[in-house]
Structure 1
């Protein structure tokens, strides 16, 4: 069958550029793409769980505590502010001296948002654990519905999320992070690689008493 494959994102993180092409597909390419996306999401959750064990449990906190007192909402809001600042050249109309957006810095700030979004998913799985239901797996399934990947077409109305709309949308933070990733024009693969690098930095910071 023929499927339309679309690629999103270019060097400008505020612009979603869509280039369309027609490709032949027998269903296997899509399945392989989804499998790779799931594996990246699951690996990031595993890595985040290891980091949480050092930061949260190591400091005497718990998922129940952080989830119950809205700590994740506050942490993500703080990181969204830093992300928005890196995009200032796109919305600051009163300064001619404003420095241009640097895509690498935007990616770094987005990954910080992602860290807390992943941790919230793990907390949700812990707090909501009942009857053997795997909440984390359910959240990953929700994320896969929106992954801006070559194996699926992204709807700019429902699969992207502007920073200013984060608080207006309900649902798991990780799902919203994936939709924000699409809006910024990043692929899951480059986010995955950036996350792994920052995760290593975060571990080193903890060893140094951060």
Structure 2
């Protein structure tokens, strides 16, 4: 067998390397991020640009998440406010109904007072009492049958237009209600006293 020797000067055969599947070819003098390492200044600028871009993307993600959370909180707050409005409306409706019942009781008391004045030959005062009783009874019906929002609006409007009459009416209603309650309490005490059996103390004869 002949001895085969390479000719001089010897030039080695260059072989190419191929990246593995899923890996992009990397050029000589560059990093995996595509930064040219042969120019340090340019490499630094590119690294800063990439860092700023990633920071901007992170901030955008946080903004999106914060926006979603704000929308959820706003929806929950709106639901809570509506529920409180409904509860307040129901409570106000109940109070209005109770006020209407109380005013109806006051109207009955004023009507009874008018009858007593008429029996005492005080027709003029009896007529005033009858008119007051009718107006109070209308107010009682209005409170029992009207919407709370409408009632509040009407009261505020009347108080602005006629403040003196509003205060006088409130005072008169309160005074009549107090007088009626006191008279009712006295009549109840009188009835209880009359129903008690008469007791006599026994004294033995000497």
**What TM-score comes out, normalization by structure 1 length?**
0.32
* Greater share of residues in helix: 2
**What TM-score comes out, normalization by structure 2 length?**
0.32
